[in-house]
Amino acid sequence: MNAAASADLTPFYEPCADEATVFESAWKNRLPLLIKGPTGCGKTRFVAHMAAKLGLPLFTVACHDDLTAADLVGRHLIGDGQTVWCDGPLTRAVRAGGICYLDEVVEARKDTTVVLHPLADDRRLLPIDRTGELLAAPPSFMLVVSYNPGYQNLLKGMKPSTRQRFVSLRFDFPTAEREAAILRRETGCDADLARRLAGIAAALRQLRDHDLEEVASTRLLVYAALLVGDGMDPVLACRSAIVESLTDDPEVAEALMEVVSATF
């Protein structure tokens, strides 16, 4: 594949600061990376962009509270009366020398630490207890994890012994101009709609007294722009794509809608 063709396949990512430099330098130095930031602010897109830019295969795992070490490493499966070993995504990433991205890593079961620690420090080893294998990660392998500090509670925080194995990047929502640029590029919407939606998001993120679990993410703005692009009235698009996704409380929803009505 020539350079121009491979550049086309790189997912679009609008940079914020020097996150790409930190990522690339961590990768070159065989260091794992931790990305923290609110949901929908571009963490996953950034990792996909960097994987394509570096020409590395990407293995993404959305972690949840039932995810065990075996889900990451692999397990024996029974089929046709035979037992066959099946690599999990972490093992596949190590064997392929790619990037393993564990999204919302603090959600995973604690037994995952046993496999992540030796991979995340200078040993770069993956022990596969069930097969007796000990895999040494090739130089191009990189472990990337993310979490949203806002979801954290005392039980689910990341342990310092884990956190201190990673180079860390903090992500936040983009500035209004950058967010408008993302919306234009992602959805093809016009500059005026992009500016208004970014303004609504900025205003909603200022509302602290409404007890919202989450503020409006760039992802929700992308949805709203797509609905408007399909011909939907912007107020209805904002209600459906932004406001109703943020709250179940009708009164809070009406308060958020005031911000929308003031814009359109």
Interface residues toward ligand ADP, by CB under 6 A: 12-14, 37, 39-45, 182, 186, 218-219, 222
Nearer to ligand ADP, 42 or 98 (CB): 42
240 burial level (CB within 10 Å; 0-12, 13-18, 19+): middle
Question: Quick one: tokens of 126?
Answer: 């993956």
Task: In whole angstroms, give the CA distance from residue 202 to residue 186.
Answer: 19
Whose Cβ is closer to ligand ADP: residue 87's or residue 107's? 107
- Nearest residue (CB) to ligand ADP, 45 versus 124: 45
C-alpha span between 9 and 27 (Å, rounded) = 21
Closer CB to ligand ADP, 49 or 124, in the complex: 49
The residue (of 40 and 88) whose beta carbon lies closer to ligand ADP is 40
Cβ within 8 Å of residue 203, ≥6 positions away: 259, 262, 263
Tell me how far apart the alpha carbons of residues 219 and 200 are, in angstroms, rounded to a whole number.
Answer: 14
**Alpha carbons 2 and 92: distance in angstroms, whole number:** 26
Residues 6+ apart with CB under 8 A from 186: 12, 222, 225
- Rounded to a whole number of angstroms, the minimum distance from the CB of residue 160 to ligand ADP is 23
Smaller CB separation from ligand ADP, 107 or 186: 186
The residue sitting closest to ligand ADP, measured at its beta carbon, is 42
* 90 vs 64: CA distance, rounded Å: 15
Residue 43 Cβ, how far from ligand ADP at the closest point, in Å? 3
In angstroms, what is the minimal distance from the CB of 233 to ligand ADP? 22
Residue 40 C-beta: closest distance to ligand ADP, Å: 5
By beta-carbon proximity to ligand ADP, the closer residue of 50 and 73 is 50
- Closest distance between ligand ADP and the C-beta of residue 97, in Å? 23
Phi, psi dihedral angles at 57 (to 5 degrees): -70, 145
Q: How far is the CB of 51 from ligand ADP (least distance, A)?
A: 13
Rg over alpha carbons for the chain, rounded to the nearest Å, is 21
